[in-house]
Structure 1
Amino acid sequence: MIFSKSRHDCRNPKKNFREYSYKAMLFFIRLQTRYFQFMSVSKNNTGSPFYPIFLRLRRRQVLVIGGNIEAERKVRRLNRAGARITVIADALTEGLEAFAVDESIDWISPPVEPAHLGNKHLIVIADAAPATLDWVRDQAERDGIPFNAVDQLEQCSAIVPSVVDRSPLMVAVSSAGTAPELARMTRSRIERMLRPGSGRLATLLSELRVPIRTRYPDIPRRRQFLNWAMTGPPADAADQGDSEAAENYIRESLADERQTPTGEVMLVGAGPGDPELLTLRALRAIQSADVIAYDGLIDSSILDYARRDAKLLSVAKRAGDKGIHQTEICELLVEHASDGARVVRLKGGDPLIFGRAGEEIDALRAADVHFSIIPGVTAASGAAAALKMPLTQRDRSQSVRLVTAHCARGIDCIDWAALATEKQTLAFYMGIATLDQVECNLIAHGRSPETPVAIVENASQPTQRRITGQLGTLSVLAREHQLVSPAITFIGEVAASVTVPA
């Protein structure tokens, strides 16, 4: 400790002692505080010992030691990165031999010599004797070359992550070698989340960067435009591999004098109820929507996938309840899309099966609104899965008929004679209130009263109920069990295989 002599007062030793004692106390308090801060940081520093980074290896020298399948996997990825690869091995896999024949790699026989390590930007050991591995590692560390040894984490100064490749977009996932299976699972989830055309779209947007910035010089409007491009029609076209169509959508929008991109409507099937039965494409549509107009049959938890700022509009219609008129729904879709919004019309099951999609398609076409359709798992499939029942079976049912039990002109418009034919499965949608008429009409047209039936209420949801019986007691079953919509009724020989726990 050094104290200033200028403040020393020889005439008052007690004062000096108190002053020195006070300064010494402050010094040790500060020292102790810094010590505990350091220990706290050291103790809480649970971060990865590896720094995430991407290496530019195009036309740069990389050494791979080993000729096994692991070496082949490494070489394939390095080759995609444009590296100049040297492989040292006694023998090569067929895949590596093909690389050597194409002169994509230089193949050298062992042993590894010091000259082989010169000018290398990365060294990978896939297969080597322990002595060779130790020597190469030491040389790499001395020369500052990143070094990776397959399945030997403690030897590595560099590790290779699990990668989701949508070039030029790349996502790397790593557990620092401690839980590779977790990293692979995480990569798989990200893989499912990313659209298949993400790479093509990223390249296209990069090429059109100048006209986009010129058209939208202010950042908020440019961000809105890019969001439309990455989630709307251009993204859909890129997903289908049609880069030309994606570019046309973008250029047409840039040429449009309106300040907001053109909106669109997606008719999306939400499946029979269980959110786990959503398709990946349906999930992406919900997550990117500005407006979601949803049916009453939608599980509310599905709406949790929507953006926090998305507008959620209930257009529920239940049996016996008029609710919002279909014409109003069509007008609502056209209105929001015309304002530039990305609109999702979310329907239970599949939108094209008893989902009034026809009227909405006509309205959107008449208004010249771009739209797309994302199919879903229809209720009949979800209910049959809940029953563990096939819809077709060679010796029992050669066809499936999907029937609505309250069509536009009433139940009398149904062709009962055609439905009464044997060896087919009938799936009645939305017909709980008319099951007595279904029973009477089928029997009157020749279907046996002993024909097996199965009913599923709230298929695929926690409140699901399953009931079995015969056609002759169908209406009695519905009353006894107080069945309510939504429910699917199956009639046909395949229902004989259904067993319901007591």
Structure 2
Amino acid sequence: MSFFPAFIDFRSRPVLLVGGGEQAARKLRLLLKSEAAVTLVAADAVAEIEGHAQAGTICWRREAFRPEHMDNVRFAIVAAEEPGLAEAAAVAARVRGVLINVVDRADLSDFTVPAIVERGDITIGIASHGAAPMLASRIRLQIEAMLPARLGDLAKLAGDFRFAVKRVLPDADSRRRFWRRVFDGPAAQQALAGDGAAARETMLRQLNGAQQAAEGVVHLVGAGPGDPDLLTIAAQQALLNADVIFHDDLVAPALLERARRDADRVPVGKRMGRHSMKQDDINALLLQAAREGKRVVRLKAGDPFVFGRGGEEADYLQAHGISVTVVPGITAALGCAAAAGIPLTHRDLSSSLTLVTGHNKPGSEAGELDWTQRVGPGHTVAVYMGLSQAESIRQRLLGRGVSPALPVALIENGSRPDQVVSVGALAELPAMALRHGDGPTLLIIGEVAAKARATEIPQNQRRIA
């Protein structure tokens, strides 16, 4: 980030605008919205600028730019194309300590003017620091389409009640939870629908009952296979609203960067061979945080209900009266296979798919399921956490008469920058496993595995037998 983002109070402050064409007129509109005291320098100007000068909203000096025009101003914008003018204005500004923006000349500018989205007092600026202004404009259009037209009305409602809320709820955490209930609740919906009176009445009722204890909610959120761009919109929103995030060891660090900056992050990882926390202890932590009124996210790799113990956690919390919301994620079989170029089903190769785990709860009915009966022509099996079971899997399948030439693929750190894929035959599976590291690895068994795009495994990442 080469520019520090900030919004500056221009009200009644002297700002110099150099130029009289359409570009200058566009900048003038923004300056007048910010209530700056604008002095415009240009020998000629378009009709829009002349109109503002006649109305007395700007001071127009009908002359060519001179360095002295920079005297007694704090900011300047140059929107003129005369040869040498931009360079001369930049030198004059820096000699006098004036911050300057030269349109389409990032090399001469101290600040940039972003593409802007406005909703009343809500202002969003999108800047590319001069590198790609058209891209910034395109992003602005996308954001414009997402935001409600009356978002400014909701901001005004919040502003009107801000100090009343602070008096009733002096604790910062209580205020944060209160405002979230407001923005997610009926008061916000009424304000966005244009019913300001009803929104104020709802706010008053909520404020009168604000000191009553409110239990939090737990969101069981699927983080997907690792690529942050594969987060769902619902998962992103849950992370941005979370007070505390209990995350698995398998969750990629880049995903946690999508969370609110001041949210607590608690690692509760469980991986084969190094269990950092028992499931009962995780359940207790989730329950305690929810009973404190916090908005809790239990962030799980892949999908919380596919080999993620999400069902166990949901049962436990609901049995204790806690509201649970499930946010599905892209499970590893889908995300990793796609990243490796493997179609899990294919009209010529596979018409069915089985998802299994290499590690089940001892003694469970699922643990007794013999999935090896499903392996054969026209079927794909995706084995989660099966790397350490590679030898056992090979022996079981060969013992059932499965061809040793059946294609298999191992996908380690699927969808991440350090993804590693190896492709081979069932007979080679244990040797393939030894070439991989200790990252989360998915095993694909079936004819479709031959379509995987193999990668070279760096020597320093290979395991030693």
TM-score interval w.r.t. the shorter chain?
0.5 to 0.7
**Residue 142, structure 1, aligned to residue 54, structure 2:** yes
* Cα separation, 2, equivalents of 1:439 and 1:139: 83
**Residue 461, structure 1, aligned to residue 422, structure 2:** no
**Residue 361, structure 1, aligned to residue 310, structure 2:** no
**Displacement of 1:281 after TM fit?**
3.6
Corresponding residue number in structure 2 for 1:275: 228
Structure index of larger Rg: 1
Gap change, CA 1:447 and 1:399, over 3 Å in 2: same
Give the secondary-structure state (helix, strand or coil) at the position aligned to 2:355.
strand
Gap change, CA 1:323 and 1:138, over 3 Å in 2: closer
Corresponding residue number in structure 1 for 2:450: 496
Corresponding residue number in structure 1 for 2:167: 217
Give the secondary-structure state (helix, strand or coil) at the position aligned to 1:475.
helix
Gap change, CA 1:179 and 1:324, over 3 Å in 2: closer
Counterpart code for 2:184: A
* Cα separation, 1, equivalents of 2:335 and 2:325: 23
Q: Which moved more, 1:408-417 or 1:429-438?
A: 408-417
Structure 1 unaligned regions, length at least 5: 1-40, 43-47, 56-132, 147-152
**Residue 324, structure 1, aligned to residue 324, structure 2:** no
Contact 1:274 1:461 in 2 (8 A): yes
* Cα separation, 2, equivalents of 1:219 and 1:154: 52
Match of 2:336 among 368, 371, 383: 383
Counterpart code for 2:167: P
**Residue 405, structure 1, aligned to residue 336, structure 2:** no
Gap change, CA 1:168 and 1:49, over 3 Å in 2: closer
**Displacement of 1:295 after TM fit?**
0.8
Counterpart code for 1:489: L
* Cα separation, 1, equivalents of 2:138 and 2:411: 34
* Cα separation, 1, equivalents of 2:164 and 2:379: 62
Cα-to-partner distance string for 1:277-309 (whole Å, 9 max, x where unaligned)? 333443343333221111111223433444454
Cα-to-partner distance string for 1:76-101 (whole Å, 9 max, x where unaligned)? xxxxxxxxxxxxxxxxxxxxxxxxxx
Corresponding residue number in structure 1 for 2:287: 334
Gap change, CA 1:352 and 1:54, over 3 Å in 2: farther
Contact 1:416 1:442 in 2 (8 A): no
CA RMSD across the alignment: 4.6
* Cα separation, 1, equivalents of 2:248 and 2:165: 38
* Cα separation, 2, equivalents of 1:176 and 1:433: 49
Structure 2 unaligned regions, length at least 5: 1-14, 17-25, 35-44, 59-78, 82-102, 104-112, 194-198, 457-465
Match of 1:428 among 379, 383, 387: 383
Counterpart code for 1:484: D
**Displacement of 1:240 after TM fit?**
10
Gap change, CA 1:203 and 1:361, over 3 Å in 2: farther
How many positions carry a matched residue from both structures? 366
Contact 2:245 2:265 in 1 (8 A): yes
Corresponding residue number in structure 1 for 2:23: none
Corresponding residue number in structure 2 for 1:66: none
Contact 2:122 2:151 in 1 (8 A): no
TM-score normalised by structure 1 residue count: 0.59
**Residue 299, structure 1, aligned to residue 252, structure 2:** yes
**Displacement of 1:339 after TM fit?**
0.7
**Displacement of 1:501 after TM fit?**
4.5
Identity %, equivalent residues: 36
Corresponding residue number in structure 2 for 1:474: 429
* Cα separation, 1, equivalents of 2:407 and 2:360: 24
Give the secondary-structure state (helix, strand or coil) at the position aligned to 1:467.
strand
**Displacement of 1:454 after TM fit?**
0.7
* Cα separation, 2, equivalents of 1:445 and 1:249: 67
Give the secondary-structure state (helix, strand or coil) at the position aligned to 1:217.
helix
**Displacement of 1:466 after TM fit?**
0.9
TM-score normalised by structure 2 residue count: 0.63
Contact 1:453 1:468 in 2 (8 A): yes
* Cα separation, 1, equivalents of 2:373 and 2:297: 37
Contact 2:420 2:454 in 1 (8 A): no
Corresponding residue number in structure 2 for 1:69: none
Cα-to-partner distance string for 1:439-472 (whole Å, 9 max, x where unaligned)? 2333444543322111011222343221111123
Cα-to-partner distance string for 1:101-135 (whole Å, 9 max, x where unaligned)? xxxxxxxxxxxxxxxxxxxxxxxxxxxxxxxx956
* Cα separation, 1, equivalents of 2:426 and 2:212: 61
Gap change, CA 1:397 and 1:175, over 3 Å in 2: closer
Counterpart code for 2:219: M
Gap change, CA 1:319 and 1:175, over 3 Å in 2: closer
Counterpart code for 1:490: I
Q: Which moved more, 1:252-261 or 1:340-349?
A: 252-261
Contact 2:245 2:266 in 1 (8 A): yes
Q: Which moved more, 1:403-412 or 1:390-399?
A: 403-412
**Residue 228, structure 1, aligned to residue 177, structure 2:** yes
Gap change, CA 1:439 and 1:175, over 3 Å in 2: closer
Larger proportion of helix = 1
Contact 1:169 1:198 in 2 (8 A): no
**Displacement of 1:400 after TM fit?**
2.4
